[in-house]
Amino acid sequence: MEGSVIVDKTLEKLAEFWEIAQGWLLSPAAWSQFALLVVAYLVALYAAKKLRPLLEKLLTPALDAESYVARARRFVAMFLPLLLPLLAYAFTGIGESATRAMFGSGAVIAFGKRVFLFLAVRILVREIIKDPVMAVLGKYILVPVAGLYALGILDEVMAYLDGTVVPLGNLSFSVLFAIRFVLVAGAIFWLGRWSNDQSSQFIKAQDDMRPAMRELIAKTLEIGIFGIAFLLVMNIMGISLTSLAVLTGVIGVGLGFGLQKIASNFISGVILLLEGQATVGDYVELDGGEAGTIIKMTARATILETYDGRWIVVPNEDFITTRVVNYSDSGSANRYEAPFSVSYDTDINLVPDIIEKAVAKHPGVLNDPFPPDCELRGFGESGVDFAVEFWVEGIDDGRNKFTSDVLFLIWNALRDEGITIPYPQRVVELKTPLPTA
């Protein structure tokens, strides 16, 4: 029964459209409006062809420009594809005023104006919107709404959707309310994410702040922005926050029992950011054997990147409850040593000066806190054992191979001075003579 009603209404609407089309075809005023539509489009096409190169030149900054003005110019330049349909819409609006003044009607040209607006919305969704969520909302909601508006049946469809109620347990809502909620929530949370990205970039560019403080402020702003977005959505849609009291209580109970680990990790992450004992860029090693460079700190966990490119997700609680060795790859110097041996035939008094001068030539070796120091470590079975201690910025692995470079310098320096590096030698005593041939 309901299907037949929809079919009957559709047929009635098609018949109404056919009557309107017949009236337009037989009306001189309608033909004059069609002519004005064509003129408005041609004028818009000519104006867009002349204006677009000038606007592109005006709105295109230098490639390396990153100021706020440059970003704003790039943002406005994104909407240049809308120039033609918007100009056609504006010129058609002028033509509509003229036809209404002359003929007392402007239905045809008003329809053309709505079509130009539909084309602008279609270009906006297909060519300008790049965000995946907003693209889906535009494709399946915004474009159909613009199409219904162009056909002049938007109000009737909205009334039908508003009257279609969807029951959900003890709650019920109309289809129109659901569509509005999705649109409003999507737009507000997209704006919140964009604002969060911009504020995070601005905060992380403040080099005078500690990395941990930058992360903490960025996380606080993120929570605040999306909290405000949530409250805005609830307020705009007319949803009382008191109705969420039960849900809030359930979440509190869940945090107290089932989600206590998540709460513990979140609080541990806040403590880490406040204390700054481990932050992004530091090379750390935990009691459990996990080791790597901190590349990201989230509300729940810290992500380490190992030298072989693997990511290790470590709960924030482990940084608080276990022993953590921080090699401070983000700025503190570290000491390493490279062992070597020389032959017993060498004048060992000359070795320290030769090696220290050779190692000091390495661009990564520091003189502060201490310059390279060559020490005698002992008298081995095959040669005299030395080791040179040196300080560098960073970790001796991954991108840096300090010990390897230093060993090359030692080898070349000893070779240039004619000093040999011994290899193990053994004396074999035979108890019985070798058999003769």
- The predicted structure's pLDDT at residue 15: 57
Region at 331 (left for phi over 0; alpha for psi -120 to 50; beta for the rest):
left
202 falls within a domain: no
Please tell me whether residues 33 and 136 are part of one structural domain. Answer: yes
- The predicted structure's pLDDT at residue 252: 64
239 falls within a domain: no
- The predicted structure's pLDDT at residue 1: 44
Please tell me whether residues 337 and 321 are part of one structural domain. Answer: no
351-360 helix and 402-416 helix, angle to the nearest 10 degrees: 130
Concatenate the DSSP letters of all residues of 64-90 into one string: T--SHHHHHHHHHHTTGGGHHHHHHHH
212 falls within a domain: no
- The DSSP secondary-structure symbol of 434 reads P
Please tell me whether residues 339 and 318 are part of one structural domain. Answer: no
159 falls within a domain: no
pLDDT tens track of the chain, all 437 residues? 444 545 555 556 555 555 555 555 545 556 666 777 778 888 888 888 888 888 888 878 777 777 777 777 888 888 888 888 888 888 887 777 766 666 556 667 777 788 888 888 888 888 888 877 778 878 888 888 888 888 777 777 788 777 777 776 666 777 777 777 777 777 777 777 777 777 777 777 777 766 666 776 777 777 777 777 777 777 766 666 665 565 566 666 665 665 667 777 777 777 777 776 777 777 888 887 778 888 887 777 888 888 777 888 888 888 877 888 877 655 567 888 889 999 888 888 988 999 999 999 888 888 888 899 999 998 888 889 999 999 988 777 655 678 888 999 999 998 888 888 888 777 777 777 767 76
Q: What is the CATH number of the domain that holds 279?
A: 2.30.30.60
Please tell me whether residues 359 and 309 are part of one structural domain. Answer: no
Domain boundary among 120, 152, 184: 152
Q: How far apart are CA 85 and CA 59, in angstroms?
A: 19
Domain membership of residue 313 as a residue range: 274-326
Block residue for tokens 């002349």: 50
Domain boundary among 152, 184, 214: 152
Q: How far apart are CA 41 and CA 93, in angstroms?
A: 11
- The predicted structure's pLDDT at residue 408: 92
Q: What values do phi and psi take at 349, rounded to 5?
A: -70, -20
CA distances from 360 to 149, 240, 406, 409 (A): 77, 71, 9, 10
Q: Are 87 and 120 in contact (CB under 8 A)?
A: no
- How many alpha carbons fall within 13 Å on the CB side of residue 91? 22
Block residue for tokens 């409003």: 184
Q: Are 283 and 327 in contact (CB under 8 A)?
A: yes
Q: How far apart are CA 404 and CA 115, in angstroms?
A: 71
160 falls within a domain: no
Please tell me whether residues 52 and 138 are part of one structural domain. Answer: yes
